[in-house]
Amino acid sequence: MRDQAPVLLRGVSYAYGEGELRRPVLRAVDLTVGPGEIVLLTGPSGSGKTTLLTLIGALRAMQEGSAAVLGRELMGADEAARVALRRRIGFIFQHHNLLGFLTARQNVAMALELDPALRERERLARAGAMLEAVGLGAHADRVPAQLSGGQRQRVAVARALAGSPGLVLADEPTAALDRASGGEVVRLLRDLARSRGVPILMVTHDPRILDIADRVVALEDGRIVAAHAGAADRGGPPPLSAAAARG
Ligand SMILES: Nc1ncnc2c1ncn2[C@@H]1O[C@H](COP(=O)(O)OP(=O)(O)OP(=O)(O)O)[C@@H](O)[C@H]1O
């Protein structure tokens, strides 16, 4: 079972800078995300959450430890291997990162451009179906400026899932949204991912969304200090005292 985990990190350390300026930000992190599991990563500002997410997403090179993501070892992987892995991951960022001159449908269809078997018409049709799934079928031909913040983030969810990724990585997807639309976006993401069996690792500061998780992992000063079952498992809010960290 562990061998099949979409994310399996052991002893991952990372530092920015060199020589006297070297500053460790991750220290011997162990983390597992199981098949279909939804894991939230929390912790104070500067604790290393985004750095960890970008390592797992193959957006930066590993320095120490081992990270198997979707069955690929990232330690020592070259840029070509990292690019290939990134194509199998759906990313959602704090700011939607949609292209302003493309419609919602075209933005989502871009995620399918890497599939050579799909013709343009089919890509646009699939993108339209994905936008229906996030409740934006009627807005598919609008450009991002004609959508609300929550709607743009729903387009980002559709784009992240359109390419049938093996893993979704989300970095503070609700940070720019008000309470109602933030909750709506993450619940939609959770439901779509669950129905497809896609695991999610999400960085969040937002205590209002902890209840969507199977597990909540807390990072402090580059170390995992606590992990506990999320409310999705237990039907209640997370406990006040955290249980021992589970890798
Ligand atoms: N490219 C970089 N070069 C040098 N230092 C960096 C770089 N990126 C991040 N850092 C530093 O590394 C530490 C961890 O940053 P990181 O963004 O991973 O933390 P975080 O937990 O995601 O914080 P936040 O919640 O504020 O986004 C911070 O002290 C940050 O200033």
ipTM computed for the complex: 0.96
Reported in sequence order, the residue ranges of the chain that DSSP labels E, i.e. its strands, are 7-16, 23-33, 38-42, 64-69, 72-73, 89-92, 167-171, 200-203, 215-220, 223-229
Q: Which of 174, 69, 244 is nearest to 229 (CA)?
A: 244
Pair 219, 48: CB distance under 8 Å: yes
Q: Does the structure show a pLDDT above 50 at 52?
A: yes
User: 45 CA distance to ligand 1 centroid (A)?
Assistant: 8
Please, which pLDDT band fits residue 170 given cuts at 50, 70 and 90? very high
Nearest CA to ligand 1 atom 26: 45
Fill in the DSSP letter of residue 13. E
Phi, psi dihedrals of residue 117, rounded to the nearest 5°: -80, -15
Angle (CA) 232-32-208 rounded to 5° is: 35
Cβ < 6 Å from ligand 1: which residues?
16, 25, 43, 45-51
Q: Does the structure show a pLDDT above 70 at 150?
A: yes
Fill in the DSSP letter of residue 210. G
Please, which pLDDT band fits residue 92 given cuts at 50, 70 and 90? very high
User: 120 CA distance to ligand 1 centroid (A)?
Assistant: 39
